[in-house]
Chain A
Amino acid sequence: MSEKMKVIDVSKCTGCRGCQLACKQWNQLPAKQTKNVGTYQNPPELQPNTWTLVRFQEIKKDDGSVKWTFRKEGCMHCTDAACVKVCPSGALHHTEFGTVGIAQEKCIGCKECMSACPFEVPRYDSEKNKVSKCDLCFSRVAENLPPACVKACPTGALSFGDKADMLPKAQKRVAQLGGDASLYGDGFVGGTHVAYVLQEKPEVYVKLPRNPQVPLSVIIWKDLLKPVALLGAGAVVGGALLHYLIHGPKRPVEITEDGKKEGGN
């Protein structure tokens, strides 16, 4: 199977949130009671029952004018996915499309992926003791259908296809937009399978990491300490064995009634 990619063209997003709802509908994610806290954005953050949401952000320009950006947030489906790296159960895995799937039945709720993800995407459901996140509608993509969010998008802000086709298209769009526009997603974590066409500079967008990467802690832990620990454990076991063979055990010295020493060394 070819690698797939979803492109989120922020310049075309009108914030209608059809994607947010379509995601809930396809994945049968329940709604929770919310309240307005002074913004259209709701739920305020990703949740176990909200795998994608549109972030509404107002930007005041120096000339007094205003911009209003709508950025759909969700799993970026990294090639070098920290969550897959740390997942002990194999619940998080790479699919044949290069996306990051999640086998909920395998998830043990250890939450390790939550701290590992540079985008803070996985969310923990304490009721189910499971972590959940967007799987880029694997069930749809496997049937050659676009993800639900893409299907619902009225403006073409969301598009989906083979990564090999989508990347040049996204780059072309960036060139067309010019100015501060940029492609976000290709230059880190081995390339993502969700990319943004950003209209503003990346640092303008809240909660969008400037330079996301697999955290150093994960690299140290998975690539260094994991083998080293095994090596160390082996060394200790081997060392003890060697000690027994070469040096021998330390026996207590018996003092017999005749005062001779027995044993010891």
Chain B
Amino acid sequence: MKKEMIQATSAYERFIHWLLALSCLLLCLTGVGMMYHSLNVIGVVMGGLQGIKSVHNVTGVIFLVALLLAIQMWWKEAGIFVFPEDWEWTKAAGGYLWHVDKVPEVGKYNPGQKMFFLTVALCGLGMVATGLAMWFPFYFPMEIVRWMYPLHVLGFAVIFAFFFVHLYLGTIGSPGSLPAMLNGWVTRAWLRTQHPKWLKEMEETGSLVIRDDD
């Protein structure tokens, strides 16, 4: 059967996404590896805790770069809510949690994704800020540095939650999504289901890139 494939993401977009995703994942892993003594074993492959700390610090810098590029790339598309449709979608929880007959149509990014983006962007910056203060405590008053630790953990908790939901919805929670970030091509059906408005926009502007799969 012939399937009509539509290009949803560019190579650059996917590169930044994965840079951000993988650095974030690594930060989470190394972070908990330091945070919980029982998870110190994570450090074995990095040469122990000292290695974890170095990996965490270096990855943090990569994360910051990826985050800044991602914000620059996505903030217009995913950083601004459009009313009233985003509100409608939100009221229906995007049809993820209970049965909804007709999910309000959304564009390239649904409010859930926007929320995720904003959370990652803000918490990510927060993580970088608190992390740097922990890394270089001498430049800040100790009273301030002390509070960086709980804030860092709080940020971790929030990012991890969103990260995992994103992972779930990007894979088994929403089949057909993953290719968007793997090769960039999605089916018209998936696009119609997930981002009907965007599909229409692209159809109208003629920016649709289509490829027939044999």
Q: Which residues does A use to contact B, with CB under 8 Å?
A: 86, 88-90, 106, 108-112, 114-116, 120, 124, 215, 217-218, 220-221, 224-226, 228-230, 232-233, 236-237, 240, 243-244, 247, 249-255, 263-265
Contacts and interface: CB of A to CB of B under 8 A. Distances in A.
Contacts of A106: 49
Interface in B147-197: 147-150, 153-154, 156-157, 160-161, 164-165, 168-169, 172-176, 187, 189-194
A112 B142 contact: no
A243 B146 contact: no
Contacts of A226: 35-36, 153
A37 B156 CA distance: 45
Contacts of B50: 108-109
Contact of B137 (A114, A215, A233, A237): A114
Nearest to A255: B189
B34 interface: yes
12 contacts: A88-B34, A108-B53, A112-B149, A124-B138, A229-B160, A232-B160, A236-B160, A237-B164, A243-B97, A252-B190, A254-B189, A265-B99
Nearest to A219: B150
B96 A250 contact: yes
A253 B188 CA distance: 9
B37 interface: yes
B34 A250 contact: no
Contacts, number: 122
A253 to B, nearest CB: 5
Contact of A229 (B157, B175, B176, B194): B157
Interface residues of B, number: 47
Contacts of B146: 115-116, 215, 217-218
Nearest to B191: A252
Contact of A251 (B34, B97, B149, B176): B176
B173 A240 contact: yes
B69 to A, nearest CB: 27
A109 B175 CA distance: 44
Contact of A228 (B37, B135, B157): B157
Contact of A244 (B137, B145, B156, B173): B173
A243 B172 CA distance: 11
B61 interface: no
A109 B96 CA distance: 45
Given A232-B160, A250-B96, A109 B147 contact: no
Given A217-B149, A250-B193, A114 B172 contact: no
Contacts of A220: 150
Contact of A230 (B36, B53, B176): B36
A264 B193 contact: yes
Contacts of A110: 34, 53, 134
Given A88-B49, A106-B49, A217-B146, A240 B165 contact: yes
Considering residues B35, B96, B98, B174, which has the most beta carbons from chain A within 10 angstroms of its beta carbon? B35
Nearest to A107: B50
Contacts of A265: 99
A263 B161 CA distance: 29
Interface in B82-97: 95-97
Contacts of A88: 34-35, 37, 49
A83 to B, nearest CB: 12
B161 A252 contact: no
B193 A253 contact: yes
